[in-house]
Amino acid sequence: MRHRPLGEYKWISLSASISLFIAFLLFLLVAVSLPLIDSIYLFIIDFKPQANQPPTSIATDLRFGVWGFCASSVLDLPTIFENNGRCTKPRLGYDVPEDLLDLTGYPDAAGLVVKAFTVLFVLHPVCAIVAFACMFTSLFLSSKAMTIISLFLSTVSAILGSVVFATDLAIEIVARDKVAPVILDGNVMIGWGNGPWMMVVAVFFTWVSVVLLSAVSCRCCGPRKWEVEKMRARGIMSATTTASGAPAQVREIPVMVEEKPEKMRDTKNVLETA
């Protein structure tokens, strides 16, 4: 089988596949973020309670994920590994119940944020799917067609990941612009979650794979072995030509000639005279 996994450009293929696996894992974790995975979220809106206000069940902590958001009060603040607040049902382009918005004390502000960019959230799982597919195709760089497919998929994944990351940042910026005018007293804090930072790392590794696969596609690492053999069979490349097309250096091996002893030469001369 000519096009076997890691058949050509072994280290480049392995490096690209590992980079895409890391990117796929991070894309997937963000894609199944809150409320599916409570500890991963895109951004947070923290409403600060008034001074000397006793703890109540009014939601003061809103954490938004790809498929919904969770509202928590000071009585059940989220931890690193869990979120015991009240969450929406997982769905894309989720609608928030009115009673849940009322828990924030600022229903208009929370509603404006929820409606922003919800359609673009679908790109998170798409990035994970594309990176997963490219992770396998990058193992077959001995095939020219698979190399082109791998480069195309990795480029698409890198571009989509960059767009999604920019969208995640834009959501936080839009949240600031939308919420700030509504909250007159300024007792609100809006910040990024851990999701965008995971996206940064994922996008970095996808662009690393693009560079590695581009080096193979543009023949920067030389032609494949089966291509060299094919060119030699057609007479395009001689056996003394390297894969890059340059003539191979022929190493001269010195020949050692053993000198005969003096007595043997004298005996030979006597026999010839006779």
Decide if 179 contacts 112 (C-beta within 8 A): yes
Decide if 127 contacts 168 (C-beta within 8 A): no
And the tokens for 237? 């490349």
Decide if 68 contacts 94 (C-beta within 8 A): yes
Burial 223-243 (b: 16+ CB within 10 A, else e): bbeebbeebeeeeebeeeeeb
CA-nearest of 84, 88, 77, 81 to 113 is 88
Pick the residue with more confidence: 77 or 222?
Answer: 77
**Residue 148 covered by a domain:** yes
Q: According to the model, what pLDDT value does residue 252 have?
A: 47
pLDDT in tens, 81-110: 777 778 878 876 656 555 555 555 555 655
Interatomic CA distance for residues 29 and 199, integer angstroms: 10
pLDDT in tens, 162-176: 998 988 888 777 777
Domain count, the chain: 1
**What range does the domain containing 60 cover?**
12-225
**Residue 239 covered by a domain:** no
**Residue 269 covered by a domain:** no
And the tokens for 175? 């949240």
Q: Give φ, ψ of 214 to 5 degrees.
A: -65, -35
**Residue 133 covered by a domain:** yes
pLDDT in tens, 137-166: 999 888 888 889 999 999 999 999 999 898
**Residue 274 covered by a domain:** no
**Residue 271 covered by a domain:** no
Q: According to the model, what pLDDT value does residue 251 have?
A: 52
In this structure, of 43-47, 185-189, 227-231, the range with the lowest mean pLDDT score is 227-231
**Residue 70 covered by a domain:** yes
Residue 141 belongs to a domain with what CATH number? 1.20.140
Interatomic CA distance for residues 71 and 104, integer angstroms: 8
Q: Give φ, ψ of 258 to 5 degrees.
A: -85, 125
**Residue 94 covered by a domain:** yes
Average pLDDT value for residue range 52-70: 77
Interatomic CA distance for residues 243 and 236, integer angstroms: 12
